[in-house]
Amino acid sequence: MTPEEIHAATLTLDTHIDIRWPDPPDPLTEGPMRVDFPKMVRGGLRAAVFIAYVPQGKRDAAGHAEASARAEAMLRHIRTRADGEARRFCATVAELEACFEAGAVAVLSAVENGYAMGHDLSAPARWKALGACYLTLTHDGHNDLADSARPKPALGDGPEEHGGLSALGRQAIAALNRAGMLVDVSHVAKTAMLQAAELSRTPVVATHTACRALRDHPRNLDDEQLDALKAVGGLAQITAVPSFLRAAPTGQDSVASVEDMADHVDHAVRRIGIEHVGLSSDFDGGGGVRGWENAAETAGLSAALLARGYGPRELGLLWSGNFLRLMRAAEAAAG
The tens digit of pLDDT for each residue in 186-225 reads 999 999 999 999 999 999 999 999 999 999 999 999 999 9
**pLDDT confidence of residue 66:** 98
pLDDT 10s digits, 2-42? 999 999 999 999 999 999 999 999 999 999 999 999 999 99
Which residue range is the domain that position 302 belongs to? 3-333
pLDDT averaged over the chain?
98
**pLDDT confidence of residue 110:** 99
Q: Whose CA is closest to 116, among 205, 176, 26, 159?
A: 176
The structural domain count of the chain equals 1
Q: Whose CA is closest to 25, among 14, 38, 13?
A: 38
- Sign (positive or negative) of CA dihedral 134, 135, 136, 137: negative
**pLDDT confidence of residue 2:** 97
**pLDDT confidence of residue 324:** 98
pLDDT 10s digits, 286-317? 999 999 999 999 999 999 999 999 999 999 99
In this structure, are residues 124 and 172 in contact, taking their beta carbons and an 8 Å threshold? Answer: yes
pTM over 0.85: yes
Residue 275's φ and ψ, nearest 5 degrees, are: -70, -5
* CATH number assigned to the domain comprising residue 195: 3.20.20.140
Indicate the SS3 state at residue 304. Answer: helix
**pLDDT confidence of residue 290:** 98
Q: Whose CA is closest to 50, among 209, 284, 239?
A: 284
Determine the straight-line distance between the first and last CA of the chain, rounded to whole angstroms: 43
Distance between CA atoms of residues 310 and 321, nearest Å? 14
Give the confidence band of 44 by pLDDT, cuts at 50, 70, 90: very high
In this structure, are residues 42 and 26 in contact, taking their beta carbons and an 8 Å threshold? Answer: no
Continuous H helices in 131-234: 167-179, 190-199, 223-231
pLDDT 10s digits, 165-180? 999 999 999 999 999 9
pLDDT 10s digits, 233-289? 999 999 999 999 999 989 999 999 999 999 999 999 999 999 999 999 999 999 999
The crossing angle, in degrees rounded to 10, of helices 190-199 and 223-231 is 10
E-strand stretches of 102-141: 105-112, 132-136
Distance between CA atoms of residues 39 and 193, nearest Å? 34
Give the confidence band of 72 by pLDDT, cuts at 50, 70, 90: very high
The predicted model gives 83-112 an average pLDDT of 98
Q: Which long-range contacts (CB under 8 A, 24 or more apart) does 210-215 make?
A: 210/238, 210/239, 210/241, 210/244, 210/245, 210/264, 211/236, 211/238, 211/264, 211/267, 211/268, 211/271, 213/267, 213/271, 214/245, 214/263, 214/264, 214/267, 215/244, 215/245, 215/246, 215/247, 215/264
Distance between CA atoms of residues 148 and 219, nearest Å? 9
pLDDT 10s digits, 120-176? 999 999 999 999 999 999 999 999 999 999 999 999 999 999 999 999 999 999 999
